[in-house]
Amino acid sequence: MSMEAKTQPMAQLSGLSPRDVLRAARLPIAIVVVLILFGLVEPRVLSLGNFRNIALQASYLAIFAMAQTMVLLTRGFDLSLGYTVSLVSVAASMAMVAMGGGDASILYGVGAAALIAGAIGLANGVLIAGIGINPLVTTLGMANMVLAFASTISGGFPVTGLPKSLTAEFAQGSLLSIPMPIWIAALVFVLLFLVLKATRFGRSLYIIGANPRAAVAAGIRTVPVLVLAYVLCALLAALGALLLTARTGSGEPNLGGNLTLEAIAAAVVGGVRLARGEGGVGAAVLGALFVTVLSNGMNLVQIDGYLQQICLGVIIIVSLIVNRDEARR
Amino acid sequence: MSSETATMTVANAPSHRASRLDRFLMQGGIVITFLVVAVVATALIEPRFLNRLNLLNVMRNFALLLIPSLAQMLVMTAGGFDLSVGAVVAATSVVTAAVMLVGNGYFPGMELAVIIASLVIALGVGALVGLVNAGLVSAFSLSPFMVTLAMMSVLMGIALYFTQGIPIYGVTDSFVANVGRGQFLGLPIVLWAALGVLAACIVMQRFTALGRHIYAVGSDQRSARLSGVATGRTLIAAYMLAGLLAALTGYLMTSRLGSGQSTIGGTLALETIAAAVIGGVSLRGGVGRAELVALAALFLSVIANAMNLVQVDSRYQTLVLGAVLIIALAIERLLLRKRQS
């Protein structure tokens, strides 16, 4: 364990041992095993239609997990993510309805979503990086403030009368027979992957996560980097919120209730290391796929929704323990 | 914004006065100021606040916030976090009611024994949850935040699975009458219970080895271990005590509601963290005093009551709670930064 700990920061540079390969393949193997186990009980799990279904559902969760990853990498958290999704869904829908509900109104909805999410992310970032308040408590407080708006601006009721094309294009539409949400999640993945690997901003996130003091000493201006990370997280949450709104066809004040937990769970299961600046968007996507495969399987074998909640908790703990060895110092 | 201007005025004042003000604010002055302002403002705006019945109501709510806030304080001073506190309350409320329902069926006429048995079983559940939390945090050195978040999900799942969200009726009537609605010397029983817990916490923090060990582990786990503190055992004690207090809250809440409810406690994690933080408990562990947490819990209960009296939509109350939490922390940080510079 201790030997690994020493080599760990440079792990990507050293050659790949069989153990490294096994470690990297652990989650994909787990996904296949879970699929097969559920498939034994319920053959429909392994049908082509269900695979498409899983990919579609995972793409929404993957966007939220990638959003959460942006701040997890910096030793941060965003507990306001779920309620940001709720607020954006309602507010963007109200903007679209107010603008007549035609195709052009979608742009106003996107604009409203970006403004609101940008403001939430900016507030989080300034409080956390600028003033220096603990990210957990800042975003917990922010979550409750956002929830208050999400549950009141539409009187607590779903907002209906959205443009038909929103659902037709962004939820049911497909390109090369691959559904639109999957394309969008893939695009987000590619962009974030490049940002993390190839930009100054991306590398700064990892350095801040690995050692905040060293980051300052290395001349990184941590405050703008962190603020940008929180803004990016909130904007990605807003993108996911718009896609979910397109899927339900209405603005829903309760849309994001469980998403905070699920997004954190997906990122953690994927191997984004809390408070260590490790992991990446690839881990978030794999984690989202694993969580989705599991909940899809449990739905198909008709396991009670509350039992699924128990499973989610257990899985978080198990994956924390499994991922721990490499990180222990 | 207002906090910034406040510190700026402080900075412009003569230095010795500023430092005295600083010291007052750092040592619980913030929470005392908050409390006094809240009480005076509420009494002026809404005289009904001072009605006897309303004050009794405030005291009951205060008591049921104080006990879990002290639980949160114990874990936070030990360097941890307990997001599962509300879920323990919900789960133990269900357990309490279920034990009473079953117990009264099998042993009619032995009400007191059933009431005591349900308390013992609820406390056992709380202690078990605390033990598991602490075991995972200390044995695998996992993040307390993640462990208790997962525990919250598990406990809520269990409570909701067994009840399907439906309240469990059949709570013993004399339990509701004597504990939930009961009074002793003109004050609610639940308040006496909370004050007892508060006194026990103060004594533990000030005068016992466990109290000192919790501070030591919270401020620097490594140094604590090197100085001979059994850090694992201290963490287990802190989390188990927190579990016990959360269970006691669930038990007392059941006595007030008259039924076991799996849906209570949803905002309790936020409220208890807010009470602890406003009461000066450090998020980095090692700092925190029970009496200041009690004042903060009283402050939160007063503003909640004030909002009810002036009929603020309950959905906006979380807005105020979140804002108060962030403002209190911002003031604390800005003071700390000024002090360091």
For chain A, give the percent of residues with pLDDT over 90. 23
Tokens of B171: 């709570």
Q: Reduce the DSSP state of residue A304 to 3 states and report it.
A: coil
Look at B125 and A329; give whichever has higher pLDDT.
Answer: B125
Look at A205 and A9; give whichever has higher pLDDT.
Answer: A205
Domain at B2-340, CATH from 1.10.8, 1.10.3470, 3.30.1370, 1.10.287: 1.10.3470
Check: CB of residue B146 under 8 Å from CB of residue B152.
no
Confidence of residue B18 (pLDDT cuts 50, 70, 90): low
| Sign for the pseudo-dihedral over CA of B128, B133, B136, B139 | negative
Confidence of residue A7 (pLDDT cuts 50, 70, 90): very low
Q: Is residue A41's pLDDT more than 60? A: yes
Confidence of residue A13 (pLDDT cuts 50, 70, 90): very low
**What ipTM did this prediction achieve?**
0.80
Q: Is residue B304's pLDDT more than 50? A: yes
Cα A20 from chain centroid (whole Å): 26
Give the position of tokens 């908050």: B34
Residues of A whose CB is below 8 A from B330: 127, 131, 133
What whole-number distance in Å separates Cα of residue B178 and Cα of residue B188? Answer: 10
* Residues B142, A317: C-beta atoms closer than 8 Å: yes
The reported pLDDT for the residue numbered A83 is 92
Residue among A306, A307, A318, A321 with most chain B CBs within 10 A, to mutate: A306
- A280-307: average pLDDT: 87
* Residues B142, A148: C-beta atoms closer than 8 Å: no
Residue B19 touches partner A, C-beta closer than 8 Å: no
The reported pLDDT for the residue numbered A276 is 63
Residue A142 touches partner B, C-beta closer than 8 Å: yes
Question: What does DSSP assign to residue B185?
Answer: T
- B15-31: average pLDDT: 65
Average pLDDT value over all residues in chain A: 83
Residue B281 touches partner A, C-beta closer than 8 Å: no
The reported pLDDT for the residue numbered A38 is 87
Of A3, A2, A9, nearest to A273 (Cα)? Answer: A9
pLDDT digits 0-9 by tens, B309-318: 888 887 788 8
- B253-279: average pLDDT: 87
For chain A, give the percent of residues with pLDDT over 70. 90
Question: What burial class does residue B185 get, using C-beta atoms within 10 Å of its C-beta: 0-12 exposed, 13-18 middle, 19+ buried?
Answer: exposed
* Residues B318, A131: C-beta atoms closer than 8 Å: no
Of B60, B54, B77, nearest to B249 (Cα)? Answer: B60
What whole-number distance in Å separates Cα of residue B88 and Cα of residue B239? Answer: 12
Q: Is residue A268's pLDDT more than 80? A: yes
- How many residues appear in chain A? 329
Beta-carbon count within 10 A of B282 CB:
18
Of B268, B284, B192, B91, nearest to A136 (Cα)? Answer: B284
Residue among B318, B332, B335, B338 with most chain A CBs within 10 A, to mutate: B318
The reported pLDDT for the residue numbered A233 is 94
Of A20, A75, A134, nearest to A273 (Cα)? Answer: A75
Residue B169 touches partner A, C-beta closer than 8 Å: no
A221-235, A262-276, B247-261, range with the lowest pLDDT: A262-276
Give the nearest partner residue to B316 out of A138, A148, A310, using CB atoms.
A148
Q: Is residue B298's pLDDT more than 90? A: yes
Q: Reduce the DSSP state of residue B150 to 3 states and report it.
A: helix
CA-to-CA separations, B108 to B101, B103, B167, in angstroms, rounded: 10, 8, 22
Max Cα–Cα distance, chain B, nearest Å: 73
| Sign for the pseudo-dihedral over CA of A144, A148, A151, A154 | negative
Question: Domain-by-domain residue ranges, chain B?
Answer: 2-340
A261-275, B4-18, B93-107, B295-309, range with the lowest pLDDT: B4-18
The reported pLDDT for the residue numbered A16 is 60
| Angle, vertex CA A192, rays to CA A263 and CA A113, nearest 5 | 65
Beta-carbon count within 10 A of A303 CB:
14
Q: Reduce the DSSP state of residue A32 to 3 states and report it.
A: helix
Look at A2 and B213; give whichever has higher pLDDT.
Answer: B213
CA-to-CA separations, B36 to A63, A165, B296, B325, in angstroms, rounded: 46, 56, 11, 17
Write the CB contacts of B243 (distance below 8 Å, at least 6 apart in sequence): B71, B88, B126, B127, B128, B129, B130, B131, B133
Helices (H), chain A: 2-7, 18-41, 48-72, 81-98, 105-125, 135-150, 164-170, 180-198, 200-210, 212-217, 222-248, 259-270, 281-300, 305-327
Look at B336 and A221; give whichever has higher pLDDT.
Answer: A221
As a CATH number, domain A48-327 is 1.10.3470
Give the nearest partner residue to A309 out of B156, B164, B273, using CB atoms.
B156
Q: Where are the beta strands (DSSP E) in B28-114?
A: none
Among chain B residues, the shortest Cα distance to A128 is held by: B330
Look at A243 and A277; give whichever has higher pLDDT.
Answer: A243
For chain B, give the percent of residues with pLDDT over 90. 35
| Segment 73-112 of chain B within 8 Å of chain A by CB | 81
pLDDT digits 0-9 by tens, A55-106: 888 999 999 999 998 898 888 888 899 999 999 999 998 888 888 777 788 8
Q: Is residue A252's pLDDT more than 60? A: yes
The reported pLDDT for the residue numbered B10 is 42
What whole-number distance in Å separates Cα of residue A252 and Cα of residue A259? Answer: 13
Question: What burial class does residue A153 get, using C-beta atoms within 10 Å of its C-beta: 0-12 exposed, 13-18 middle, 19+ buried?
Answer: middle
Give the position of tokens 């989705």: A292
The reported pLDDT for the residue numbered B194 is 94
A107-111, A268-272, B321-325, range with the lowest pLDDT: A268-272
Question: What does DSSP assign to residue A127?
Answer: I
Residues of A whose CB is below 8 A from B270: 140-141, 144
* Residues A144, B330: C-beta atoms closer than 8 Å: no
What whole-number distance in Å separates Cα of residue A212 and Cα of residue A220? Answer: 10
Check: CB of residue A57 under 8 Å from CB of residue A266.
no
Residue B321 touches partner A, C-beta closer than 8 Å: yes
Q: Is residue A21's pLDDT more than 90? A: no
CA atoms within 13 A on the CB side of B181: 8
What backbone phi and psi angles, to 5 degrees, belong to A278? -130, 160
| Sign for the pseudo-dihedral over CA of B340, A220, A264, B144 | negative
Check: CB of residue A240 under 8 Å from CB of residue A58.
no
The reported pLDDT for the residue numbered A10 is 44
Give the position of tokens 């809440």: B253
Q: Reduce the DSSP state of residue A231 to 3 states and report it.
A: helix
Question: What burial class does residue A221 get, using C-beta atoms within 10 Å of its C-beta: 0-12 exposed, 13-18 middle, 19+ buried?
Answer: exposed
pLDDT digits 0-9 by tens, B141-184: 888 888 998 999 899 999 999 888 888 888 888 888 888 888 88
Check: CB of residue A317 under 8 Å from CB of residue B136.
yes
Give the nearest partner residue to B141 out of A140, A142, A328, using CB atoms.
A328
Residue A24 touches partner B, C-beta closer than 8 Å: no
What whole-number distance in Å separates Cα of residue A78 and Cα of residue A72? Answer: 8
Question: What does DSSP assign to residue B199?
Answer: H
The reported pLDDT for the residue numbered B9 is 41
Residue among B84, B137, B147, B153 with most chain A CBs within 10 A, to mutate: B153
Give the nearest partner residue to A304 out of B141, B161, B273, using CB atoms.
B161
What whole-number distance in Å separates Cα of residue B334 and Cα of residue B43? Answer: 30
In order, the DSSP letters of A269-303 are HHTPBTTTTB--HHHHHHHHHHHHHHHHHHHHTT-
Q: Helix A81-98 to helix A222-248 angle, to the nearest 10 degrees?
A: 60
What whole-number distance in Å separates Cα of residue A81 and Cα of residue A234? Answer: 7
Confidence of residue B93 (pLDDT cuts 50, 70, 90): very high
Q: Is residue B126's pLDDT more than 90? A: yes
Beta-carbon count within 10 A of B230 CB:
13
pLDDT digits 0-9 by tens, B24-74: 666 677 788 888 888 898 888 888 888 888 899 999 999 999 999 999 999
One-letter identity of residue A68: Q
Q: Reduce the DSSP state of residue B184 to 3 states and report it.
A: strand
Residues of B whose CB is below 8 A from A264: 146, 149
Confidence of residue A278 (pLDDT cuts 50, 70, 90): low
What whole-number distance in Å separates Cα of residue A69 and Cα of residue A57? Answer: 19
Residue B160 touches partner A, C-beta closer than 8 Å: yes
Residue among B137, B145, B146, B324 with most chain A CBs within 10 A, to mutate: B146
In order, the DSSP letters of B285-331 are SS---HHHHHHHHHHHHHHHHHHHHTT--HHHHHHHHHHHHHHHHHH
* Residues A313, B150: C-beta atoms closer than 8 Å: yes
